Chain A
């Protein structure tokens, strides 16, 4: 064991996207030594592909007038279909304005209010609205689905790019160590306490350990378990969530809560931002009819993503989609927005249409279909981002189940979450690191490195005729999109579980065709594959067990939201020796806004049989028995009980 294979730091951040970098900045500002591990140079993280913007209740423009953090909180809870932890949603809404302003301080060129006459498209009508001169130059908002006000702050359609570059500049200014092209493959832990991670260098294929007082996982979503049927980047394979699951101790929350974005470009699956509909775009069927007007008279194209995606699927299923040799799609119509708007505020969308479909959105209709987009579920953490059951392990951003999104996330809330949670979790990790010393037995770290090396070597040692890793991946992706997609049923989900478990077994028989030294791309992928399948299995099994419909989880055999039995959060652990994962359930969190109609979608559900007070009585005790660690402030301290009633 040479020295370079064992490094140490105060705070290890796994993941160099918005959440990870914001955590790192907070920990470094507190005086800690920080190391970021990233699969790619941080500026290439998938945060850079976030287009639409960040929700923050500044209320700067006329259509956002009267907005406040309580309205943002209520919208977020309704969007979640009451699956969210309402205290976390409250904290998030309160902190979002500070987060977007801080990004402005770091240099994000947010689009600004232009005082005087502005032309907007709202529900199919072009309106001229006078923006107040006194708000000229403040941050502008655009409309997004499921919100009472225009609230999303944006920089054209490249908000994630601008935010990521601003944060990464700050990371470089602070001199934070970034080890890019490195993949964390296992956590170093003793079953109670996490001491860093083992990583594999994607330049050389060599393994090394980074021991740390506090470890933060911020690796984003796991969309690639849906194969190519995702808007996610190729690097969103969920390894961060998987290494937490592989501890056997840390639970993942609500893995069945998977968001499908209504408008991915067909057939490539590249994202077209919700900003396109927020700015007035229409969804049309093959007869160029705006089917969302009848389906959702109130919000039309701007109902929440789960609701719009289901209406689109029904429209296509009823024969109103456009048939092509590559599948069925619907149309997104932006032509009426005009060339100037498309070249400025929706510039990135115009480029994507041109580059990948040869279309000009000022003249052409855009083929779109719903596609996997976001993972509401992830590593279950308390309000500080501290993982259940594992001291010293934190998670932030999409990889975490913090859980402000419940069963459906609102557009503009995830980008904002990355920086809001990044600051809070970074601060909590820094506090934790301050209060502890690095008294880890380096033998434990070295053993973890050796174990990872043996695992990689075992792949290279296999020979003979087994299945190849890419065919297993393709079978996983097809299974997930066909049977664990937008519409789910018990039969299909059972088939999916059986198929995924058999693919998991195939993994152990799979054979590599390339044994080249170095990073070996086939081996690199093989090392991810079993992790991806384990995530796929817990997603499908969670969906099978949840016999109700809530947010993005829609069961055709149980079409109603069931607050009698299912107002809870799925937790799944996979004990080391077990062949299958174990499921438990905990309360969603303290309920302030009681379950009811979301304002879009269906208005019928099975009601709670206990009172809200009864539900709330033992929430924190029950969560503690599931492994929730004590937060720095007491659980529930940030709930502003009943304040929402003044705003509805």
Chain B
């Protein structure tokens, strides 16, 4: 942390992917920007500084700037990650930035993750399926705290798209649920409030677009900024599908 303090600041070079589909004169290219590194500098700070002082047309997405909203996934030196929590002090002095693949490009580093995740939730029906109506007068249904914690563990996904961008299958097959989609399925499978049966799940999960589409490269597990246990989640889904089939 804060390696820059007390020394001459490093001169950082950013190689940034540029393309504005709304501009007929724009062509995809890389553009180079230089900045002096500052203490505590993150890519959030650096990119805003580039936009405000060097090129006001540069497009990128940030909202919370605290690694919880998932807006700022991008390729940093070829690896998908959240830009807001990436400290320049952890990078070399030449930094390459590209938009996430798989998702539709909006412009420069900005991609349309919202559209992708909405259709993923629609296809996997990522909500609690229950026949019970909510009773405003009744106390809550009980749940063991260990189970609540286990559900929360999966629920923490912020849909930044880093896992999807890193996934060999998702890059080739737009219909693949992707690691985030499979995680979402596992989250609802372990939730007793969701009344879908094993055979309901089998229909959704046990297809080429579901868990059996995964080639097992598991880059998703390595790049997830929230450290979701995607390896264990895949294993859980495959085991569950196998036992359903055997039963």
Please give the distance in Å from B227's CB to the nearest CB on chain A.
8
- Name the residue of chain A whose CB is nearest to the CB of B122: A172
- Name the residue of chain B whose CB is nearest to the CB of A471: B52
- Interface positions, chain A 351-388, Cβ under 8 Å from B, are 351-352, 355-358
> Is B238 at the interface (CB under 8 A from chain A)?
no
Tell me which residues across on chain A come within 8 A of B1, comparing CB atoms: 357-358
A454 and B85 CA atoms in complex are apart in Å by: 39
Say which residue of A137, A161, A521 sits within 8 Å of B59 (CB atoms).
A521
Instruction: Produce 1/0 per residue, B2-25, CB < 8 A to A.
Output: 100100000000000000111100
Please give the distance in Å from A178's CB to the nearest CB on chain B.
7
Please give the distance in Å from B51's CB to the nearest CB on chain A.
7
- Name the residue of chain A whose CB is nearest to the CB of B159: A43
Q: Is the CB of A512 within 8 A of B56?
A: yes
Q: Is the CB of B139 within 8 A of A234?
A: no
**Residues on A facing B (Cβ under 8 Å):** 40-41, 43-46, 48-49, 58, 98, 100-102, 104-107, 109-114, 136-140, 155-156, 158, 161-162, 165-166, 169-170, 172-173, 178, 180-181, 203-205, 233-235, 267-268, 270-271, 325-326, 344, 348, 351-352, 355-358, 470, 512-514, 516-522
Please give the distance in Å from A207's CB to the nearest CB on chain B.
14
- Interface positions, chain B 197-215, Cβ under 8 Å from A, are none
20 pairs, A vs B, C-beta closer than 8 Å = A44-B71, A45-B63, A46-B64, A48-B68, A49-B68, A109-B155, A112-B143, A136-B144, A162-B155, A165-B155, A173-B127, A178-B118, A268-B66, A270-B65, A325-B39, A356-B85, A517-B23, A519-B107, A521-B58, A522-B51
A272 and B138 CA atoms in complex are apart in Å by: 34
Please give the distance in Å from B47's CB to the nearest CB on chain A.
11
A105 and B131 CA atoms in complex are apart in Å by: 11
Instruction: Produce 1/0 per residue, B120-155, CB < 8 A to A.
Output: 011001111010101010111111110011011001
> Is B114 at the interface (CB under 8 A from chain A)?
yes
- Name the residue of chain B whose CB is nearest to the CB of A474: B52
A113 and B145 CA atoms in complex are apart in Å by: 7
Please give the distance in Å from B185's CB to the nearest CB on chain A.
13
Q: Is the CB of B85 within 8 A of A267?
A: no
Q: Is the CB of B127 within 8 A of A172?
A: yes
Q: Is the CB of A138 within 8 A of B63?
A: no
Please give the distance in Å from B234's CB to the nearest CB on chain A.
21
> Is B113 at the interface (CB under 8 A from chain A)?
yes
Q: Is the CB of B145 within 8 A of A155?
A: no
A58 and B64 CA atoms in complex are apart in Å by: 31
Please give the distance in Å from B152's CB to the nearest CB on chain A.
4
Q: Is the CB of A522 within 8 A of B57?
A: yes
Please give the distance in Å from A91's CB to the nearest CB on chain B.
14
Tell me which residues across on chain B come within 8 A of A102, comparing CB atoms: 134, 136
Q: Is the CB of A521 within 8 A of B51?
A: yes
Known contacts A98-B136, A172-B118, A40 near B69 by CB under 8 Å? yes
Tell me which residues across on chain A come within 8 A of B196, comparing CB atoms: none
Tell me which residues across on chain B come within 8 A of A358, comparing CB atoms: 1-2
Q: Is the CB of B64 within 8 A of A48?
A: yes
Please give the distance in Å from B89's CB to the nearest CB on chain A.
9
Q: Is the CB of A233 within 8 A of B140?
A: no
A581 and B217 CA atoms in complex are apart in Å by: 61
Please give the distance in Å from B155's CB to the nearest CB on chain A.
6
Say which residue of A161, A166, A204 sits within 8 Å of B158 (CB atoms).
A161
Please give the distance in Å from B142's CB to the nearest CB on chain A.
3
> Is B191 at the interface (CB under 8 A from chain A)?
yes
Tell me which residues across on chain B come within 8 A of A516, comparing CB atoms: 20, 22-23, 26, 57
Known contacts A169-B128, A205-B22, A516-B23, A355 near B67 by CB under 8 Å? yes
Instruction: Produce 1/0 per residue, B65-92, CB < 8 A to A.
Output: 1111111000000000000010000000
Number of interface residues of B (CB under 8 A): 68
Say which residue of B56, B140, B193 sits within 8 Å of A138 (CB atoms).
B140
- Name the residue of chain B whose CB is nearest to the CB of A107: B128
Q: Is the CB of B23 within 8 A of A46?
A: no
Please give the distance in Å from B157's CB to the nearest CB on chain A.
8
Q: Is the CB of B57 within 8 A of A109?
A: no
Tell me which residues across on chain B come within 8 A of A519, comparing CB atoms: 22, 59, 106-107
Tell me which residues across on chain B come within 8 A of A522, comparing CB atoms: 51, 56-57
Q: Is the CB of B117 within 8 A of A41?
A: yes
Tell me which residues across on chain A come within 8 A of B140, comparing CB atoms: 100-101, 104, 110, 138-139
Report, nearest first, the 6 A-B pairs whose CB atoms are least far apart.
Answer: A518-B22, A41-B114, A137-B142, A358-B1, A169-B127, A522-B56
Tell me which residues across on chain B come within 8 A of A140, comparing CB atoms: 145
Tell me which residues across on chain B come within 8 A of A234, comparing CB atoms: 62-65
Q: Is the CB of B66 within 8 A of A356?
A: yes
A445 and B28 CA atoms in complex are apart in Å by: 38
- Name the residue of chain A whose CB is nearest to the CB of B153: A109
Q: Is the CB of A101 within 8 A of B139?
A: yes
Tell me which residues across on chain A come within 8 A of B2, comparing CB atoms: 358
A513 and B59 CA atoms in complex are apart in Å by: 15
Tell me which residues across on chain A come within 8 A of B55, comparing CB atoms: 514
- Name the residue of chain B whose CB is nearest to the CB of A523: B56
A140 and B140 CA atoms in complex are apart in Å by: 11
- Name the residue of chain A whose CB is nearest to the CB of B85: A355
A166 and B136 CA atoms in complex are apart in Å by: 17
Tell me which residues across on chain B come within 8 A of A106, comparing CB atoms: 127-128
Q: Is the CB of B155 within 8 A of A521?
A: no
A136 and B198 CA atoms in complex are apart in Å by: 28
Please give the distance in Å from B122's CB to the nearest CB on chain A.
6
Tell me which residues across on chain B come within 8 A of A45, comparing CB atoms: 63, 69
Known contacts A106-B128, A169-B128, A514 near B57 by CB under 8 Å? yes
Q: Is the CB of B128 within 8 A of A517?
A: no
> Is B156 at the interface (CB under 8 A from chain A)?
yes
A529 and B65 CA atoms in complex are apart in Å by: 20
Say which residue of B20, B113, B127, B148 sits within 8 Å of A110 (CB atoms).
B148
Q: Is the CB of A344 within 8 A of B149?
A: yes
A18 and B30 CA atoms in complex are apart in Å by: 39
Please give the distance in Å from A275's CB to the nearest CB on chain B.
14
Please give the distance in Å from B176's CB to the nearest CB on chain A.
19
Q: Is the CB of B56 within 8 A of A521?
A: yes
A107 and B152 CA atoms in complex are apart in Å by: 10
A289 and B117 CA atoms in complex are apart in Å by: 48
A298 and B65 CA atoms in complex are apart in Å by: 36
Tell me which residues across on chain B come within 8 A of A172, comparing CB atoms: 118, 121-122, 126-127
Tell me which residues across on chain B come within 8 A of A166, comparing CB atoms: 128
A242 and B57 CA atoms in complex are apart in Å by: 25
Q: Is the CB of A271 within 8 A of B39?
A: no
Please give the distance in Å from B132's CB to the nearest CB on chain A.
8
Tell me which residues across on chain B come within 8 A of A514, comparing CB atoms: 55-57
Please give the distance in Å from B177's CB to the nearest CB on chain A.
15
Q: Is the CB of A162 within 8 A of B191?
A: no
Tell me which residues across on chain A come within 8 A of B112, comparing CB atoms: 203
Say which residue of A138, A158, A325 sits within 8 Å of B152 (CB atoms).
A158
A109 and B58 CA atoms in complex are apart in Å by: 39
Please give the distance in Å from A520's CB to the nearest CB on chain B.
7
Please give the distance in Å from A56's CB to the nearest CB on chain B.
10
